[in-house]
């Protein structure tokens, strides 16, 4: 995660949901990146 950018509350919720499911950190990063690109 890039700490220089502000993180949206929605993306924080996505990260929390992914972590609860015990997905790998790389999977979390990819999913969040996909969501960011689709929101643009």
Domain count, the chain: 1
Q: Identify whether 4 is part of a domain.
A: no
* Boundaries of domain holding 24: 9-39
Whole-Å CA distances, 30 to 1, 25, 34? 10, 9, 6
pLDDT of residue 2: 53
Q: Identify whether 1 is part of a domain.
A: no
Q: What are 1-40's pLDDT values in tens digits?
A: 454 467 899 999 999 999 999 999 999 999 999 999 999 8
The Cα–Cα gap between 39 and 32 comes to 11
pLDDT of residue 4: 46
Whole-model pTM? 0.74
Region of residue 39 (phi > 0: left; psi between -120 and 50: alpha; otherwise: beta): alpha
The Cα–Cα gap between 29 and 17 comes to 13
């Amino acid at each position: 995660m890039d700490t220089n950018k502000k993180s949206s509350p929605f993306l924080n919720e996505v990260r929390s949901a992914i972590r609860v499911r015990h997905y790998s950190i790389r999977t979390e990063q990819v999913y969040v990146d996909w969501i960011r690109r689709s929101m643009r």
